[in-house]
Amino acid sequence: MIRCGKIVATHGLAGDVIMTHMTGKKGWLKASDVLFVALRKDSFIPHFVTGVKSATEREMTLHLEETDTVEAAKKLVGKEVFVEEEVLAAGVEDTPLLWIGFEVLDEQAGSLGLIEDIYQTAQQWLAQVRVNGNEALLPLIDQTLIRVDIKKKQVFVKMPDGLLEVYG
């Protein structure tokens, strides 16, 4: 599963929720898709989508099966949302979210490890990788990203001088 967003608010009186997402695209999620909400750490509860309205490239209003009241929707606010890789891949081909599990290969240092998670800031994508046993956040920007081999599940990078030394 891939973390795709977060439920940030309720909407209306029928139990709808507003989800912010990291894809930057409209239309990737469809009614009948399944979202997994992390109600607790490592506890992914399936919620079937019965209605989707994309407000912007980063926000959508959802109606989830069995969430028919504001009270039920409020329990989901603030929770991380995950989706099966196939759902995301069907609507968004070029997102770094699909690179979770890929091996990161640096031009100088060689293999840095597998991407455990992807985060998006206002300016860039960051890959969470264990480098020498330490959690590292590596920038995935034009200056560091060389290429991505989807078939081999590899991301080729050139990290700035000194960045990897910080992680031992």
Cβ contact 85:91 at 8 Å: no
pLDDT at 93: 63
Is residue 39 located within the same domain as residue 63? yes
Is residue 61 located within the same domain as residue 139? no
Domain residue limits at 120: 97-167
Residue of 42 and 135 predicted with greater confidence: 135
pLDDT tens digits, 88-101? 777 766 678 888 88
Q: What is the pTM of this model?
A: 0.70
Which residue, of 90, 124, 142, is where some domain finishes? 90
pLDDT at 168: 60
Which residue, of 90, 114, 142, is where some domain finishes? 90
pLDDT tens digits, 18-34? 999 888 788 888 999 99
Is residue 20 located within the same domain as residue 36? yes
> Whole-angstrom Cα distance, residue 18 to residue 10?
6
pLDDT tens digits, 78-91? 999 999 888 877 77
